[in-house]
Amino acid sequence: MKEVKLVPFNHKNEEQIAVKFGYDDAIRVHLKKLLDIKWSNTHKTFYIKNSTENKSKIYNHLRLINCYINYSELIIKKPNISKTLNIQLPKLNEGQEKNLQKFRKWLQQKRLSENTVNTYVEVTSFFIRYSILKNTVDYSKRLIESFNYDFIVHSNKSVSYQNQCINGIKKYLEYKGLEVERFELQRPKKEKKLPVVLSVEELKRVLDQTHNLKHKTLLSLIYSAGLRIGEAINLRVKDIDSKRMLVHIKGAKGKKDRYTLLSEVFLNLLRAYYKQYKPKEYLFEGQNSEQYSSSSAQRVLKGSVEKAGLRKQVTLHTLRHSFATHLLENGTDIRYIQELLGHSSPKTTMIYTHVSETSVRKIKNPFDNL
């Protein structure tokens, strides 16, 4: 297996990825087939713009010819929390480490997602080390507020992360059997941004630019059934109920099952896809019959959006937003949309009333009377 090294470097005042390898015609010819790859006479190397999408693109492209890709220099190291706070946090002792692992198991028994468990354990570790620094085991409101400021506010972390930190600390206090009610930390409010929505015409342009049958089927399913990307790639062949014209979503967000719509037009596309690809377990399989990845799906969508000439910031979730908005514009009751999307609260679904064009079009603009 030949080694190829991916190295960050600055070229033409932009961050690039240099592709380093020993002289090899097969690699050179293969690299030239990759879209957006360029050659620098100055640096004597192939290069591509440094982005998350391009890292995955070049990695997958080189794996096709069985290369070993060394991307260690591209890995962004997490900032040292001690440096962020400009203080040196003490290490946990063996007993504290064991207690933290017990806390992890306790969280897992609560059936929280693995990402949530990892975040809660991480922030709790910092919080305990912070309390050692302050030479106290009294988890008072004042200590927690001090930690909240030093660790989150002063470090300019996101609102979402701040809320996760508060949740993590509260879960730890619950685990320790301490009074949670007496800690009234002020939660920051998230910015209320309206979702990006594609018109029917824009959506058709995007799908028309998606020529690969598997890619087109996946994007069409996400839109036609209003799915999250995780729900789409977790679908199994048996979850498609063509007799009842329903898609069975199992274990979705909040550990809930639900049914959503199966479009008749989409079903024809799905049958053509199934006939060609013959998936065994998961409806959409990647290499080696494994589950298709969300990052691959996002790259496909981005490419189709660019080819369609759209300037909107479109993600896979935009397709789900568009599904809900188009249903609302067609007169579907908001309660049915809530069920199809799997929202726990109608308040979440109500956001689509703010982006629907139907009601807005009925309003006469006062400028027209001038």
Across residues 96-122, what is the average pLDDT?
87
Whether residue 124 is found in the same domain as residue 233: no
Whether residue 67 is found in the same domain as residue 170: no
Q: Supply 342's token pair.
A: 């799997």
Q: Supply 112's token pair.
A: 């929280």
Residue 209 located in a structural domain = yes
Residue 217 banded pLDDT, cuts 50, 70, 90: very high
- H helices of the chain, in order, are 25-32, 52-63, 81-85, 94-109, 114-133, 141-147, 159-175, 200-208, 213-225, 229-234, 264-277, 294-308, 316-329, 334-341, 346-349, 357-361
Least confident interval from 79-93, 120-134, 154-168, 239-253: 79-93
Whether residue 63 is found in the same domain as residue 106: no
Catalytic residues, by residue number, are 228, 253, 317, 320, 343, 352
Asked whether the predicted pLDDT for residue 113 surpasses 80, the reply is no
Angle at 225 between CA 361 and CA 311, to 5 degrees: 55
Angle at 158 between CA 316 and CA 119, to 5 degrees: 85
Distances (CA, A) of 91 to 4, 88, 131, 134: 38, 9, 11, 13
- Residue 44 CB neighbours (<10 A): 9
For 221-239, the pLDDT digits (tens) are 999 999 999 899 989 999 9
For 312-339, the pLDDT digits (tens) are 989 999 999 999 999 988 888 889 999 9
Whether residue 160 is found in the same domain as residue 119: yes
Sequence-distant (6+) residues with CB within 8 A of 38 are 46, 47, 48
Find tokens 């308040």 and name the residue.
Answer: 347
Asked whether the predicted pLDDT for residue 192 surpasses 80, the reply is no
User: Nearest 10 degrees: CA dihedral of 354, 359, 360, 366?
Assistant: -130
For 1-38, the pLDDT digits (tens) are 688 888 888 877 788 899 998 888 889 898 988 888 99
For 300-313, the pLDDT digits (tens) are 999 999 999 998 98
Whether residue 212 is found in the same domain as residue 334: yes
Whether residue 295 is found in the same domain as residue 355: yes
Whether residue 119 is found in the same domain as residue 70: no
Whether residue 213 is found in the same domain as residue 352: yes
Whether residue 285 is found in the same domain as residue 317: yes
Residue 242 one-letter amino acid: S
Q: Residue 92: what are its φ and ψ, rounded to 5°?
A: -80, 145
Residue 67 located in a structural domain = yes
The total number of structural domains that make up the chain: 3
Question: What is the SS3 string spanning 292-334?
Answer: CCHHHHHHHHHHHHHHHCCCCCCCHHHHHHHHHHHHHHCCCCH
**CATH label of the domain that carries residue 340:** 1.10.443.10
Residue 112 banded pLDDT, cuts 50, 70, 90: confident
Which domain does 214 fall in, by range?
Answer: 200-360
Asked whether the predicted pLDDT for residue 242 surpasses 90, the reply is yes
Asked whether the predicted pLDDT for residue 78 surpasses 60, the reply is no
Across residues 209-217, what is the average pLDDT?
95
Question: So what's the pLDDT on residue 182?
Answer: 56
Boundary-marking domain end, from 51, 74, 97:
74
Residue 73 banded pLDDT, cuts 50, 70, 90: confident
Asked whether the predicted pLDDT for residue 83 surpasses 70, the reply is no
CB of 21 closer than 8 Å to CB of 71: no
Question: So what's the pLDDT on residue 76?
Answer: 57
Find tokens 């050179």 and name the residue.
Answer: 28
